[in-house]
Amino acid sequence: MKTDRKQLLQNFGIENLLPMQEDCLTKFKKPGDFVLYSPTGSGKTLGFLLPIIESLTNQLTTQALIVTPTRELGLQIEQVFKNCKTGFKVACFYGGHPIREELRSLEAVPQVLIGTPGRLLDHLDRQSIDLRNVKTLVLDEFDKSLEFGFQNELEQIMNASSWERRVFCSATVIEEFPEFIELDVQDEINYLVESQNKVELYKKSYEEEEKIPALMEVICTLKGKTLVFCNHREATDRLVEHLNENGIPAIAFHGKLEQEERERRLIQFRNGSRDYMIATDLAARGLDIEEIVTVVHYQLPVTEQTLAHRNGRVGRMHNSGKIVAMFSVEKPNQKNEFLQDLMNWKELKTHTNIELPELPEWETLYFSGGKKEKINKIDLVGFLSKVGELKQGEIGVISVLDHSSYVAVKRDKIRPLLKKLQGEKVKGKKLKIAIAM
């Protein structure tokens, strides 16, 4: 099966590759190790997927393995691969759901396998996957995998095949690789240059006991899609509760949430149903969230690397944005030297007379059926147009998962729509239809 690069690019709506992606194609032509340093949101995923796709054959064997530290990043890469519409099979394995589903998917061997270290090792122990003939290994967000403590799992995965090519991707420079990597002469692509994007840097000083009101001032002054970072799950939940009580629809995102809930909240943030996400550093890496205009460090990061990854969520792909670091007037953080520069940022002038942001243009409609129930985007558009009488422009982004689907609908249309859909069937199936919470 010969791949047509021009057609692949058309599937993504782009005409030309970025220089970094061109470099990846060149590096892939020869075996060995190479390291790709590239900022978050720079097109890195397509950079390593394109040469992988062009190297695939029709053999019904796994030919490439991509290892990621989080399920969200794995699912994102899987979706990019599927958007290429190559005809090759891809599978994504990760914890948090029954392994039997993955075992069933292996009845037809995927040419490309994506997975988190722990789940991949589980499959290796079960001998349900065979990596001995896999030629290409990509370790995406490799530094994050090390940070998460996956050294033992990675070492065992490394020993599962004699790789022709190993690619290490990172958004920060790795000063020293672990010994088990046995890195060959390092071939490096480094695009970690100073951002040319127009990102404005501010600090927001607050009095003790007035931190949450200070955040309210920041949100109501800057408005737009905003990612607020905290260091602890409890803080995210507490902030979301306060914001919702005060008329600002917000969602929390952290590792304690169930997988389905995390996916739903990402969908709501991406499709414009929620403009404010309060998150731990789980959202600092590996998530494809575009058009974020503001990043707020509500709780300051504890490492310089974490700071870099948080900041990388704004100003992506040459967009502009703002970064705000919050400092206590009474107790400025002197512990970490890297925070001293932040204290010199310009003070953000906020409105004390708070005017709440307008509600999002969209709201998300939930359907209790997805790919496994043979529901697709065309089915949902047809159903909402015919039965729901929605017009073009009143239906937004549609996300179809395995057993659920989510459709962005204009906010002023969604409640009348629910009345029209009551008791109706989608493709002859009775599904639960409700506003996603």
What does pLDDT average to in each consecutive run of 10 residues of the chain (437 residues)? 71 76 86 84 84 90 94 89 89 90 91 95 93 91 84 92 90 82 78 66 89 92 92 94 93 90 92 94 75 91 82 71 89 67 85 84 95 91 93 91 94 94 91 92
pLDDT value of residue 345: 87
**Structurally, what CATH architecture does the domain formed by 5-190 represent?**
3-Layer(aba) Sandwich (3.40)
The domain segmentation of the chain, as residue ranges, is 5-190, 199-347, 362-435
pLDDT value of residue 396: 92
Q: How far apart are CA 276 and CA 295, in angstroms?
A: 10
Q: Do domains 199-347 and 362-435 have the same CATH topology?
A: no
* DSSP single-letter state for residue 429: B
Q: How many CB atoms lie within 10 A of CB 171?
A: 26
Check if the beta carbon of residue 363 is closer than 8 Å to that of residue 266.
no
pLDDT value of residue 186: 64
Q: How far apart are CA 71 and CA 74, in angstroms?
A: 5
Check if the beta carbon of residue 117 is closer than 8 Å to that of residue 158.
no
436: which residues sit within 8 A by CB, 6+ positions away? Answer: 264, 267, 268, 273, 364, 365, 366, 406
Q: How far apart are CA 384 and CA 235, in angstroms?
A: 38
Check if the beta carbon of residue 134 is closer than 8 Å to that of residue 59.
no
pLDDT value of residue 199: 82
The amino acid occupying position 136 is T
Q: How far apart are CA 284 and CA 286, in angstroms?
A: 7
Check if the beta carbon of residue 240 is closer than 8 Å to that of residue 251.
yes
Tokens of 399: 């996300």
How many residues appear in the chain?
437
Q: How far apart are CA 370 and CA 387, in angstroms?
A: 19
Check if the beta carbon of residue 131 is closer than 8 Å to that of residue 62.
yes
Q: How far apart are CA 64 and CA 368, in angstroms?
A: 34
pLDDT value of residue 414: 93
Correct CATH for 362-435 of 1.10.760.10, 3.40.50.2300, 3.30.70.330, 2.90.10.10: 3.30.70.330
- How far is CA 137 from each of CA 92, 160, 169, rounded to the nearest angstrom? 15, 11, 11
**Structurally, what CATH architecture does the domain formed by 199-347 represent?**
3-Layer(aba) Sandwich (3.40)
